[in-house]
Structure 1
Amino acid sequence: MRTEQGDSKGADRESRLGGNSGFCSDAAGLSGLVPAGYVKQPWDEYGFAVMAGEVLVCRYTRLAVKRHYDDLLAAGSKGLVWRPDLADHVIKFFGFCRHSKGAGFAGEPIRLEGWQKFWIAVCFGWYRIDGGRRFRTWYEEVARKNGKSTKLAGIGLYLFAMDKEPGAEVYTAATKLEQAKITHSEAEMMVRQSPQLRALISNQKNKLFIQGTSNKYVPLGADAQTSDGLNVHGAIVDELHAHPNRDLWDVLDTARGARKCSLMYAITTAGFNQGESICLEQRNYLISILEGHEVDDSFGGVIYTLDAEDDWRDERMWPKANPNFGISVFADDLRNACRKAIAIPAALANFLTKRLNLWTQSNETWLSLDHWDAGASQSFDENFLKGKRCYGGLDLASTTDLTAWVMIFPPQDGDPNWYVLPRFFVPEENIQLRARKDRVPYLAWRDQGFLIATPGAMVDQDMIRDQVIDDAAKFDIVEVGYDEWNAAKISVELTEAGLMMVKLPQNFGNLSTPTKKLEGLVLEKKIQHNGHPVLRWNAGNVTLLRDTNDNYRPNKKKSRERIDGVVATIMAINRAEMSVAPAQSVYEMGVGI
């Protein structure tokens, strides 16, 4: 499917085809692949090329293609009917759908790529001898930027408007209604861009309908509590890996029993959780079918990923996870992402899952300490920062844990570096217990001046308040970002002392952008921290929480040890960045996670 990035480039196209740009033109060289007298269809170019080894694919993709051709040979014995006319009907429908965005593409008809035609044909061309649709569930797994959203929108519109199903109810499903609306908007924009669809379909408050029918195509979230009484003909599920449980999937599945041609269609990238999930359940079931361990003619799909033996750094393997390689996915873009993945662990996890469609664990550390330690290259004294503009971040611990107060000094006076000045606090009476529990030298850090021990068994917020006020007298503190948890008293007192205190809920909207900023500063060696050992320990502990839109932030629950200093640093960066270019994210406006 063409996107705003344009047509394929020669080198990328060659790599996508495994170095051979010629497709198999007919079935003559593939004896036994199709029944005698089989009439080759346009989508067979891709299928034949895969079977001939002319397109570089992984084992799972090849098995899925082979399954289709095996079924053509055995259709009668399996009670299946191949309807190329109905497959062609769906593919031609996409010609009435138009791109909704992209320079030079908005308003233009969608042109499906060979691999997209093939899988749409397979999904929609197979029927049972009783007239029902063969594939009731379809699971498709492919890396990002391969046209998933546009394809899903077109399929949803077809099921809703062109499948000849009386009273067709089609749902764009997500765990949250607002997220479902975002995905559903692609279908709405597609209707607005197409004169033919606009003449047939009406839109009212995210609900698509056809006058004179009870057909409807609407977004549905698990949080909307509107799942009772559903009679599902089509369920369009994007990014199934993000579903925290199977509840919505099961509701949709059980609500379509009366429909002979209903379809659950899920497209997803890989995820970070390799534990139990509805996504992995569907994935593993498809694999068991493709490998011949299970027999289920109602369950179909395909997986685009690397093979287990492939080196993810070998760019020759990348087209296995990216069937649109050279079309909407480009080698240069992947090379840049790969270089970043090699440099920092957090980027590696994201590159593997989102760009190469490889499932990974979520508990990988974020920052490379080798890169972090480069920030100790320029030793500086606190007096060097006296009077300079800075921003603060305050992360108050529970009454017995580590507390962090961090100031960050953005570039000024021609110096390109960002300087970090952290203060850490811990209750004196708990310092030995914390040292044993956290397995780090709190006592040595206290004696070396890197850790302030407050009297008693609980963190003394008065001492922290006084330290912040003392720092405000020495440095030009513009704003202080703070986590409101356990901070009601100190935030009021610091406000009364003349500081600008800004409450920062710990969400993606507030923390994702400054987290990425800190990551970039570390990688570019533009942050200086004097090698502070407590902050370094924190930096090595951080793991990330991610959402489906490539936002991420520190995850205190999953991080190995204390990360308070890094969280406080990120809050300080938030204030530094927002004071330069204030903006409101979709998260702060109540949209998304």
Structure 2
Amino acid sequence: MTKDEEEEARKIKLQYYQEVCNINLDNYRLHETDHRLRLYIEDIISDVEAHNLYEILAVRRFFMLRDKYVWRPNKVKKFIVFYESLKFSGMKGRQCYKLTPVQVFQFASILGFYQWEEEGGKTVLRRLVRRAILFVPRKFSKTTSSSSLAVSELLFGDANAQAYTAANGYKQAQVCFKEISKIVKQLDPKRRTFKKTREHIEWRENKFGKESFVECLSGGADTKDGLNASLIIFDEYAAAKYVKDHSEGAELLQVLESSSGARDEYLTVIITTASRVVDGPFVLELDIAKKVLSGTYDDDTLFASIFMPDEWETDGDALGDPGVWKKCNPHIGITVKESFYRTMYRQALRDPEKMLEFKTKLLNIFVSAGTKVWISQNLARSLADPGFDIDSLSGRPPAMVSLDLSVSDDLSAVNYMLYSKTLKKFYSWTDYYIPEKTLEEHPNAELYRYWISKGYLKVCPGAVIDGSMIVTDILNRNKKLWILQIGYDSYKSQEIVNSLGAAIACNGWDPEKILKAVPQTFGAFTSPVETFEMAAKKKPAGIVLADNPITFWMFGNAYLEEDRMENKKPVKRKANAKIDGVIVNLMSMWLFNNYVW
């Protein structure tokens, strides 16, 4: 997404937000349904940045439907009372839960609207919504709360109601069904009213004439004919995929929905979180839902609740913003702790595989599993010159220095980069440091010991990186080089930066001119990435690397990730992989690109 596109998208969101703000809430007597309905809408009005475009569009559409159809608050109130009387699973055992404001809005939007329909020469009121999409992240309580709809259908639906919990696989379909089964067990502990199996719950013979049942189904539609579904709950539809133009999940859903034609008020509820299946059947469903919310498509029978970042927040530094987390999951602090998101994000920064999981399951962003290989080990190795020795240089050529220091006990890297105007080439030398204690248990210990024996890796005494050792090395190098600036990551290097600042000041120089915090954002890395790539891939190459296998290994660990604005930054695929040497090279490039000569 370009800056112009982002500006336009923000403008459109603001326009819809203003429409919602201009609605006179008093005219709709929301409190007669439930006070939480108004609380939810007022929360959106109070802070546009805390809610995504589609949440705002859903509220806007709610009032458009209120103006167009019959609103039956008692239907919503009865369901809320019923829901809050049920006992759901929880960390402290099964207990009753109050609906949150957003859940009240969701259930009210599904159950509260009615329209007049012609039937047998007369008009009757029928529920409007026939299809609901709840596209929410993991830990939203979507599956648990949706089970209440199936229990309601079993108890209060048609005399021969058929409620189905379905999913692509049996195990997932069982998640919702097991919750339903446990609720029914509490309602009928002696099993006098209902018969249950692992996949089926039905009424026993009774004086009410009830023949309703709930059943669990999974992918594979060929044996599912002869159904008469009144309620379908399809769990994790976003994981459905096409295999040779065939999707068992999609076929199951189609068979179930096509069986609902005889029902007066059938309902399909799709509850799902994003996945890595970017070309599955749900992607089209989601696109249609977005267009219905925006008014591009006209379908008043569809309700969609979409929780995800705004499109300009789906990559880069926005992923670490707690405000974006809450925008994706309004149940943070209720069904999931913010500290859990923080922990998962920190792990994701170190492991691209976990970043994919963080994006899909906690932020509800569809992503493919692939990442772009950037500079291969072979290419990095081809840039090496065994004759390049930074300690043999004379004449104090100008240089940039960059630090990437471990916050724990792992590898740290210090890069020295020079540029030859005569040869039009960069020359890069990287020193690597590791604490002695780390070698005892680290998964890469054997490899590290080999590098130490060959002089490629320096050992710091003790359990942590020795900052004074690095400061001494930099000051000694300054006797051979004219160090223009020293770049650092402000979040990880403060102690050593303070030591360097003191040493620089003692030599009569200005620390503020020499020490530079290098931004670690995608936007800041884009230019250095492009500069380095151009230098590495042109013929002849425009950069020379020191002959150090650690550097080649790290480039092989680095994969290029792009955000929606096409900003680029290297990431690592595995948790025990290291790319510190790559990062410091790019930080030095950043210093050159931003230095005022």
TM bracket (short chain): 0.5 to 0.7
Matched, 1:119 2:106: yes
Change (3 A) 1:247 1:31: closer
Q: CA deviation at 1:100?
A: 2.7
The verdict on how the C-alpha distance between 1:161 and 1:250 changes in structure 2, with shifts beyond 3 A counting, is same
Residue 62 (structure 1) aligned with residue 56 (structure 2) = yes
- The one of 214, 218, 221 aligned to 1:217: 214
Q: Unaligned 5+ residue runs, structure 1? A: 1-28, 76-80, 378-412, 423-529, 544-562, 570-593
Q: Does 1:328 align with 2:335?
A: yes
Distance in 1 of aligned mates of 2:190 and 2:348? 43
Query: Is 1:89 aligned to 2:78, yes or no?
Result: yes
Aligned-residue CA RMSD in angstroms?
A: 3.8
Mean CA deviation greater in 92-101 or 237-246: 92-101
Match for residue 273 of structure 1?
A: 277
The CA deviation at 1:415 is: 3.0
2:312 paired residue number: 309
Greater percentage in helix? 2
**Deviations, residues 433-491 of structure 1 (Å, cap 9, x unaligned):** xxxxxxxxxxxxxxxxxxxxxxxxxxxxxxxxxxxxxxxxxxxxxxxxxxxxxxxxxxx
Q: 1:230/1:33 Cα in 2 relative to 1: closer, same or farther (>3 Å)?
A: same
1:150 aligns with 2:144: yes
Q: Does 1:186 align with 2:179?
A: yes
Render the CA deviation track for 1:127-155: whole Å, top value 9, x for unaligned: 22123221111111111111112112112
> 1:191 is paired with a residue of what secondary structure?
helix
Secondary structure of the residue that 1:418 maps to in structure 2?
coil
Post-superposition Cα deviations, 1:158-200, rounded to whole Å, max 9, x if no partner, equal 122223x121111110122343224311211222244589664
CA change 1:319–1:37 in 2 (3 A) is closer
Q: How does 1:528-567 map to 2 (within 5 A)?
A: none
Which protein has the larger Cα radius of gyration, Structure 1 or Structure 2? 2
Instruction: Please say if residues 132 and 269 of structure 2, whose CA atoms lie closer than 8 Å, have aligned partners that are also in contact.
Output: yes
Distance 1:111 1:332 in 2: 23
Q: Determine if the alignment matches structure 1 residue 132 to structure 2 residue 135.
A: no
Q: Secondary structure at the match of 1:183?
A: helix
Count of aligned residue pairs for this structure pair: 370
Structure 2 contact 221–252 (Cα < 8 Å) conserved:
no
Equivalent runs, 1:348-359 vs 2, <5 Å: 348-359=355-366
1:419 and 1:334 mapped to 2: Cα distance? Answer: 28
Partner letter of residue 86 of structure 1?
Answer: K
> How far apart in 1 are the matches of 2:440 and 2:357?
32
Query: Is 2:447 aligned against 1:418?
Result: no
- 2:370 aligned with 1:363: yes
- The answer on 1:229 being equivalent to 2:226 is yes
* 1:258-310 per-position Cα deviation (integer Å, ceiling 9, x unaligned): 11211110111112232x32211111111001111010011111101111233
Distance 1:178 1:270 in 2: 18
Structure 2 equivalent of residue 73 of structure 1? 67
The secondary structure found in structure 1 opposite 2:133 is strand
Please give the alpha-carbon distance, in whole angstroms, between the structure 2 residues aligned to 1:418 and 1:538. 18
Pairing 1:572-583 to 2, within 5 Å after superposition: none
1:44 alignment counterpart: 37
Residues in 2 aligned to 1:366 and 1:119: alpha-carbon distance in whole angstroms: 43
Amino acid at match of 1:266: I
* Structure 1 residue corresponding to 2:265, chosen from 243, 261, 264: 261
Letter in 2 for 1:357: N
- Distance 1:324-1:38 versus aligned 2 partners, 3 A rule: closer
TM-score by length of 2: 0.55
Q: What are the Cα deviations for residues 403-423 of structure 1, in whole angstroms up to 9, with x where unaligned?
A: xxxxxxxxxx9932335889x
- Per-residue Cα deviation, 1:15-53 (whole angstroms, up to 9, x for no partner): xxxxxxxxxxxxxx9753464666642142334314522
The code of the aligned residue for 1:44 comes to L
Alpha-carbon distance in 2 for matches of 1:36, 1:110: 27
**2:290 corresponds to which residue?**
287
Residues 342 and 128 from structure 1, CA distance in 2 versus in 1: closer, same or farther, beyond 3 angstroms?
A: same
Change (3 A) 1:376 1:62: closer
- Please state whether the residue corresponding to 1:129 is helix, strand or coil: strand
Provide closer, same or farther for how the CA distance between residues 124 and 200 of structure 1 changes in structure 2, counting only shifts above 3 A.
farther
Separation in structure 2 between the aligned mates of residue 139 and residue 253 of structure 1, nearest angstrom: 14
State the identity as a percent: 23
Q: Deviations over 1:307-336 (max 9, x none)?
A: 123322221222111111211222211111
